[in-house]
Structure 1
């Protein structure tokens, strides 16, 4: 097989049929071995990162195309990083290009909701030891509904981001390094058996991660390393801490499945404009459609007309067989995002119809430990008329989280992808 570097990032499998190419892409995904090995500022470890760059979610767009909460989050990121001193200055900087906008996926990263990265923000560095590539994700800001990734920036958000930079990230990073890295795949598999689906529910995974780094943390207490108690209390009270590790692990896993001639989906993400996917056999090209179809449960005091789309790349977890594709592991989610156990189980079973195979590591106890449906095949989505399902948080038009629910990718993305696939390869 020719190297991925020689072909613009796409692994070439000469002479493979679609079925063989899909089998190769699935095998690479299934064999992925993600380890978190470090925490470092984005500007130091993301490839080609510039000091004046702010990353955000979804397929790349021009500044004027960003609206609502995603636009506000970009402005907040520029202010936090000191790229501008006022809102007006930030807007002018984006408009004239002095402040650059980038897409997270182009930097081997993924972002939750608006997905804002700036140079000083710490990121998890996750190494796929099976294939040698790396994925990144920044830190969870905490459970306060008003967060930068939900389109909010004020003094409280600013202080919480500084706290992540100066206290939480240094402690977690040191613990990871002293531990020699943490294998995330077996941890995730165990969390599924304990009631997580590792997208909208991460309670078990967060506890398991804390346990993995505990020996190193105790050493750090002995060495009077600053901020240890505060950081561990933060981990203890924030069930969503592990989501960012799950996302980075999923990104490192999914990037390795890009194989010439494959129709498997290698990324799913959305922006304020709409939803988009990538296909393993078409490299870095995005295929966009309208915003996703959703159903959910809103927090008290909020109404359906408040829901706003401002981006999101956490569906990278569904791309590798987690989240909505492991929903039957996490029936307690009904209390958070609505629905019923019967609906969740049926929805999860439905995903097998559009998946290439079953995951060799991530398994669903309720289905007699059957592997999660993994590797969405764009051909099957169109043939079966079944759209991929994802568990997500719901943002409000005025910023902040106002609920949670389930979304489905729009059919248009898959139609465009397969049209492009046919134009390139001459066949479906």
Structure 2
């Protein structure tokens, strides 16, 4: 169990867990996420500092980070100019001159290692129902060697600079000219077109491009720099929308917080293991071992290369997308293995551990039944069914080496409910 700085005292607001869960689910289901801007992290993340590098998972000290996640943190420091070389970066992390932070503590989420530095552009997503915001950084591109997969070299640096200087400014300007873009109806339509908006985002990326097209055409007429290049980048990168679905999920899930609730409000992992938060127990993370996995590796790679270096894209499953909408995206079998029958059964299984069904996100194959939404920790233990998530698989030498499915470890839920009982009693 890891406790971060609390956002406020946790006090019972409801006379029963049932009432707390009903309110928590309603707040999630009513969320209305809009992407409203793209800005550097230092400009929009609450409390951000120029010497801060964010990464995925429950918060840890610098000395606890290992492998690819440690290398990604070092790469982030070098990219931001916080150190001149690897050795200097390590020394400055060790003394605290360069700070390490957890993305979730700043209302943000990160894919794989999830590195944020002060100059990196982030999507700003506003939950217009509840007034809170969620953030996610920009997609680096489809090159397997990426900072979020533990790699940093001249090629990675050049691509990150290109995002900062060309791609993000154009996308941000287009979003602002459109007055923001509602993400919830866009995601709902993408599910009907074969996405689950975690490991498959092809339809959602196209729909987003269509939303910004009127602004883009005006920008072309005005000869705004980088527009053609940016749109070509978006057109060839099906995963571009993942960062928007993650930010939308974060803005939605953060609104779930209701003292006493047993619903899961966050799931993430680091190089050390997996962790969850409950909507009813404040800022406490409940940790377990690395997730259980199965997957499909790219040619030339083997099972013993798989390593864990963080990941917060399971925020999509937290709100009923990703693996909880897997039956929408049967084409994923080609990418991450499995079969249609297994994917359908796996998706149906999730209804046994969730509080309810989304009133917006629906699965055509199930007669447009709402996706199973809001994991109830009690039901996980009662049924023995563990939450499933669609993920990319990282290699020990950096880079993406495959894709697959993971399941959260049972230990997280045991610890979470033990702490819930300590605070609220057994009700």
What is aligned with 1:67?
A: 66
- State how 1:144-293 maps to structure 2 within 5 Å: 144-293=143-292
**Deviation readout 1:293-323 (Å, 9 max, x if unpaired):** 0000000000000000000000000000000
Secondary structure of 1:282's partner?
Answer: coil
Tell me which residue corresponds to 2:326.
327
CA distance in 2, matches of 1:88, 1:344: 46
Per-residue deviation, 1:8: 3.1
Match of 1:305 in 2: 304
Q: Distance in 1 between matches of 2:388 and 2:223?
A: 46
Spell out, residue by residue over 1:151-172, the C-alpha distance to the aligned partner (whole angstroms, 9 max, x if none).
0000000000000000000000
For residues 202 and 384 of structure 1, the distance between their equivalents in structure 2, rounded to whole angstroms, comes to 31
Question: What is the CA–CA distance in structure 2 between the aligned matches of 1:256 and 1:178, rounded to whole Å?
Answer: 27
- Structure 2 unaligned residues grouped into runs of 5+: 1-5
Within 1, Cα distance between the matches of 2:92 and 2:13? Answer: 46
- What's 1:412 paired with? 411
Q: 1:13 to 1:218 in 2, by over 3 A?
A: farther
The answer to whether the Cα contact below 8 Å between 2:38 and 2:122 also exists between their aligned partners in 1 is yes
Instruction: Tell me the residue number matched to 1:51.
Output: 50
Q: Report if aligned partners of 2:7, 2:283 keep a CA contact under 8 Å in 1.
A: no
Q: Structure 1 residue 13: deviation in Å?
A: 6.5
Aligned equivalents of 1:207 and 1:382: distance in 2?
Answer: 39
Report the equivalent of 2:346.
347
Relative distance call for 1:9 and 1:221 in structure 2 (3 A) is: farther
Q: CA deviation at 1:99?
A: 0.1
Contact 2:328 2:365 in 1 (8 A): yes
- 2:371 maps to 1:372: yes
Per-residue CA deviations over 1:139-197 (Å, capped at 9, x if unaligned) read 00000000000000000000000000000000000000000000000000000000000
Q: What's the TM-score, normalizing by structure 2?
A: 0.98
CA RMSD of aligned residues (A): 1.0
C-alpha change, 1:182 and 1:274, in structure 2 (3 Å) is same
SS at match of 1:241: helix
**Shift of the alpha carbon at 1:9?**
5.1
Query: What corresponds to 1:425 in structure 2?
Result: 424
Whole-angstrom CA distance in 2 between matches of 1:178 and 1:168: 16
- 3-state SS of 2:119 partner: coil
Separation in structure 2 between the aligned mates of residue 70 and residue 253 of structure 1, nearest angstrom? 27
Is this contact kept in 2: 1:126–1:135, CA < 8 A? Answer: yes
- Cα distance in 1, alignment partners of residues 46 and 154 from structure 2: 30
Contact 2:31/2:128 (CA < 8 Å) preserved in 1? yes
- The CA deviation string for residues 313-352 of structure 1, in whole angstroms up to 9 with x for no partner, is 0000000000000000000000000000000000000000
Q: Is the 8 A contact 2:10 2:281 kept in 1?
A: no
Residue of structure 2 equivalent to 1:91: 90
Relative to structure 1, is the Cα distance of residues 144 and 40 closer, same or farther in structure 2, using a 3 angstrom cutoff? same
Give how far 1:426 is off: 1.0
Q: Is the 8 A contact 1:10 1:281 kept in 2?
A: no
Q: CA deviation at 1:16?
A: 3.0
CA distance in 2: counterparts of 1:268 and 1:160, whole angstroms: 29
SS at the partner of 2:134?
Answer: strand
Cα distance, 1:14 vs structure 2 = 2.8
Q: CA deviation at 1:12?
A: 6.5
Q: Contact conserved, 2:12 with 2:424, CA < 8 A, in 1?
A: no
Runs of 4+ in 1 over 2 A off after TM superposition: 7-16
Q: CA deviation at 1:10?
A: 7.4
Instruction: Give the secondary structure class of the aligned counterpart of 1:125.
Output: strand
Number of equivalenced pairs: 422
Q: Whole-Å Cα distance in 1 between the matches of residues 9 and 255 of structure 2?
A: 9
- After TM superposition, the structure 1 = structure 2 runs for residues 104-119 of structure 1, keeping only pairs within 5 Å, are 104-119=103-118
Is the contact between residue 394 and residue 405 of structure 1 (CA under 8 Å) also seen in structure 2?
Answer: yes
Q: CA–CA distance in 2 between the matches of 1:38 and 1:199?
A: 21
- The match for 1:4 is none
